Amino acid sequence: MWGGRYAQGPAAIMEAINASIGFDRKLYRQDIAASKAHCAMLVQQKIIAAKDGAAIAKGLDVILAEIDGGRFEFSTALEDIHMNVEARLAERIGEAAGRLHTARSRNDQVATDFRLWVRDALDRSEVQLQALQAALIARAEEYADTVMPGFTHLQTAQPVTFGHHLLAYVEMFGRDRSRLADCRQRMNENPLGAAALAGTPYAIDRHMTAKALAFDRPMENSLDAVSDRDFALEFMSAAAICGVHLSRLAEEIVLWCSAPFRFVALSDAFTTGSSIMPQKRNPDAAELVRAKSGRLFGTLMSLLTVMKGLPLTYSKDMQEDKEPTFEAAETLELALAAMTGMVLDLTADAKRMREVAGADYSTATDLADWLVRELGLPFRKAHHVTGKLVSLAAERKVPLTDLPLAQMQQVEPGITKAVFKALTVEASVNARRSYGGTAPANVRSAVGRARKRFLRG
């Protein structure tokens, strides 16, 4: 490739650091699709002959079949996927292959291929996120009535339903999907035809190639077209945020599977044993999902660092954009698959959840609310009265429901025996019917709404 300018070939170390075929071969399908679109446009615009265009298109189809079939020999000496494909095309059809690169550069070629690859990754992640939401929604409906403790500061706070808890993640993953959709919409512009950086003197039709590759439009500015990588950064940012949500759910599964909690169990399909403790069942799948969020954060930081100081337009630094992006996509897809499997696999121990949900005076707020609602106390006073009653029950080491009415009335004379009906965990969750609340009836309604919002259309 450099024969016209350089008398000598590159040093071995230069070849090693410069070559990208070891990883950018992943772009082969996108590279061939973009080349076919470019070729068809060159023929349409009468920039190359129809005969040459037909030979190029046929040759590219053969090369695609060779790569798909594992029969293609990649060469490090040819640096990247673009030159590997072009060299093989020349072997197959001769001089006509050299006409394919008319009115384009490797700069706009790689920018196009990379956008197409990221777009495909976005679409795959969207499908997987929807599948995870579907699993969560199904389990939320199944556990709409199952009471569990709700936590703040990881301390028992108020009773909630397990279905309501699972639906919280449906909302988080819904926002992740919207971020991916926003990213896809913003990045769906065609760089092809920007050439090296300044455009081309050939009478090309960039709208034609944009349509052929399902882009919404050509990119407006040739400098931006070859130097932009914020679409990859945005994808990795969305992946990292999704990784946070996956990690939080994974952490909860780890906690819930532990002996102090015993809220859920995973089958052998998503756990491993110990090499020395035969009783152990370790939630390794959840732990690994939790850990993989760190890889997602790292890939984002890697490319941010590469791009932060680059002047316009293209610099070889940008070759370092693909490996972190590929890793982010692969890591996210694996974590989503593992989490969906765990959600479908887990079984909840409703009895244990109910037991812990009623501990640590979790219905104290219900007592305060009853004092406000039935006796007309200001909430701050009701809060103070409830605090005294909780202290009294704690001293006697009994739950609020076992505190004698007479002792309650010594603190607040207006309390009647009707208060005890408000202090069960079932009464607590059933009372919370405000929109977005945890009541089982709310959960069932929310399940229906979630199916319409996220699983249809």
- Active-site residue, selected from the candidate residues 153, 178, 302, 428: 153
| Cis peptide, bond prior to residue 313, ω within 30 of zero | yes
The Cα 193–Cα 310 span in angstroms is 22
Neighbouring CB atoms inside 10 A of 139's CB total 21
134: its two tokens: 């579907």
The Cα 385–Cα 376 span in angstroms is 13
- Active-site residue, selected from the candidate residues 258, 267, 274, 315: 274
Least Cα distance to 42 among 106, 98, 121, 3 occurs for 98
Determine whether 274 is an active site residue. Answer: yes
What are the φ/ψ torsions at residue 303 (nearest 5 degrees)? -75, -35
The Cα 378–Cα 375 span in angstroms is 9
Let me know how long the chain is: 457
347: its two tokens: 């079984």
The helix-helix angle for 162-187 and 440-450 (nearest 10°) equals 20
56: its two tokens: 């190029």
User: b/e string for 158-191 if b means 16 or more Cβ within 10 A?
Assistant: bbbbbbbbbbbbbbbbbebbebbeebbeebbbbb
What are the φ/ψ torsions at residue 304 (nearest 5 degrees)? -55, -40
277 sits in the region (left: phi over 0; alpha: psi -120 to 50; else beta) called beta
- Burial of residue 212 (number of CB atoms within 10 Å: 0-12, 13-18, 19+): middle
- In the three-class reduction of DSSP (H, G, I as helix; E, B as strand; rest coil), residue 72 is classed as coil
Question: Position of tokens 């777009």?
Answer: 119
The Cα 1–Cα 137 span in angstroms is 56
Determine whether 101 is an active site residue. Answer: no
> Is there a contact between 271 and 284 (Cβ–Cβ < 8 Å)?
yes
The Cα 161–Cα 139 span in angstroms is 12
Active site residues per annotation: 153, 274
